[in-house]
């Protein structure tokens, strides 16, 4: 299990819970409080080093999973954070707000559905107003529902997945760019699914491939403004997304076991990649994808 902080040397094979996990199903969008074993977001283990002092960050999907871990890490590194999440995720989001404020940082909670273009525009405006500016955008929210056969994949779900994962990414980036100064960063969230697609994620996997391409194209477009754009590509990560339909129920007990590290990743293990890309330490990195996949290989 995890130690008191992320700097203690440990065996990554046994650092966090390994399969077999208990069988479990949640109703979408899910909650961190029903995950067994509990996910690790860095609530007690993440130790910041002040690398994002006075930065102003917007994080989507910040109530649970990777977004929750990234919001906590950004605050521990010294950033003020605007959090986006669905209204039905208010309870989980309120905990993240409290954790950010416990660090003496500002937390701006902005619930709403990213499938709505007007909300995406309003989200950015509220974040800029609440934070007094914006210089880090972490697009993490995503929709994933496993469907075994194309015949059972509805147009409604296909559209909703693309609107959440791709359309919203475009809308939020477009709204944010006029506010981003030179030195600002955009961090998108791709996936191992962009390179090794699962047959039951026929709508989700293509959106992640598109995010890789979008990231590389936008990075070239805005480089002359001094703005960097990169992505993180997680592998299988233990979040509410998985038992809430992201995986078929029968896949949950052995989730992540086929990676070289033989377990699912934890959200807190994703956060350092986002922190790196948000800071000046990565000043010569743009248009790139950092894999955090437990050893599953990216091209």
- The first and second tokens of residue 253, run together, are 């007990």
**Strand boundaries in 174-279, DSSP class E:** 185-189, 228-234
- The first and second tokens of residue 170, run together, are 């475009």
Cα-flanking dihedrals φ and ψ of residue 259, to 5°? -75, 155
pLDDT at site 5: 76
Spatial contact of 168 and 90, defined as CB atoms under 8 Å apart:
no
Spatial contact of 256 and 265, defined as CB atoms under 8 Å apart:
yes
With b for 16 or more beta-carbon neighbours within 10 A and e for fewer, the 89-125 pattern comes to beebbebbbebbeebebbbbbbbbbbbebebbeebbe
* Overall residue count recorded for the chain in this entry: 299
Q: Residue 6: is its pLDDT beyond 90?
A: no
pLDDT tens for each residue of 9-18: 999 999 999 9
Query: Structural domain boundaries of the chain?
Result: 50-292
Query: Of 73, 95, 104, nearest to 268 (Cα)?
Result: 73
pLDDT tens for each residue of 76-118: 999 999 999 999 999 999 999 999 999 999 999 999 999 999 9
pLDDT tens for each residue of 38-62: 999 999 999 999 999 999 999 999 9
pLDDT at site 233: 98
pLDDT at site 1: 43
**Strand boundaries in 176-282, DSSP class E:** 185-189, 228-234
* HSE-up (13 A, CA, CB side) for residue 177: 16
pTM over 0.85: yes
pLDDT tier at 125 (50, 70, 90 boundaries)? very high
Query: Of 94, 112, 92, 110, nearest to 102 (Cα)?
Result: 94
* Cβ count near 206 (within 10 Å): 18
Across all residues in the chain, what is the average pLDDT? 96
Q: What is the pairing mode between strands 80-85 and 56-60?
A: parallel
* HSE-up (13 A, CA, CB side) for residue 174: 13
Task: Show Cβ contacts of residue 103 under 8 Å, excluding neighbours closer than 6 positions.
Answer: 48, 75, 76
pLDDT at site 2: 44
Q: Residue 172: is its pLDDT beyond 50?
A: yes
Q: Any idea which residues carry the catalytic annotation?
A: 204
Q: Average pLDDT in the 138-158 region?
A: 98
Q: Which residues pair with 83 in a beta bridge?
A: 59, 109
Question: What percent of the chain is predicted at pLDDT more than 90?
Answer: 97
pLDDT tier at 4 (50, 70, 90 boundaries)? low
Class of the 50-292 domain? alpha beta
Q: Average pLDDT in the 245-264 region?
A: 97
With b for 16 or more beta-carbon neighbours within 10 A and e for fewer, the 11-45 pattern comes to eeeebbbeeebeeeebeebbbbeebeeebbbbbeb
Round to the nearest angstrom and report the end-to-end CA distance of the chain. 31
Query: Of 181, 195, 179, 180, nearest to 231 (Cα)?
Result: 195
pLDDT tens for each residue of 197-234: 999 999 999 999 999 999 999 999 999 999 999 999 99
């Amino acid at each position: 299990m995890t130690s008191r902080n992320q700097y203690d040397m440990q065996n990554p094979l046994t650092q966090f819970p390994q399969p077999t996990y208990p069988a479990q199903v949640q109703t979408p969008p899910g909650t961190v409080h029903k995950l067994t074993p509990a996910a690790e977001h860095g609530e007690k283990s993440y130790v910041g080093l002040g690398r994002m002092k006075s930065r102003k960050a917007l994080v989507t999907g910040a109530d649970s999973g990777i977004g929750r871990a990234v919001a906590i890490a950004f605050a521990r590194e010294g950033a003020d954070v605007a959090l986006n999440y669905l209204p039905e995720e208010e309870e989980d989001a309120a905990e993240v707000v409290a954790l950010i404020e416990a660090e003496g940082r500002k937390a701006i909670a902005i619930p709403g559905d990213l499938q709505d273009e007007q909300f995406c525009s309003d989200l950015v405006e509220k974040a800029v107003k609440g934070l007094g500016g914006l210089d880090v955008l972490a697009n993490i929210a995503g929709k994933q529902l496993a469907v075994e056969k194309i015949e059972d994949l509805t147009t409604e779900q296909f559209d909703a997945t693309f609107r959440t994962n791709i359309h919203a990414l475009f809308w939020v980036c477009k709204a944010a760019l006029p506010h981003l100064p030179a030195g600002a960063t955009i961090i998108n969230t791709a996936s191992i699914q962009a390179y090794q697609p699962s047959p039951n994620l026929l709508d989700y996997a293509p959106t992640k491939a598109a995010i890789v391409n979008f990231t590389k194209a936008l990075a070239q477009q805005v480089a002359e403004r001094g703005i960097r754009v990169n992505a993180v590509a997680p592998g299988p990560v233990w979040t509410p997304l998985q038992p809430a339909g992201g995986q078929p129920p029968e896949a949950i007990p052995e989730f992540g076991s086929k990676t070289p590290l033989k377990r699912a990743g934890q959200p807190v293990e994703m956060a350092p990649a986002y922190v790196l890309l948000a800071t000046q330490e990565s000043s010569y990195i743009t248009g790139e994808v950092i894999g955090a996949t437990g050893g599953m290989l990216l091209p």
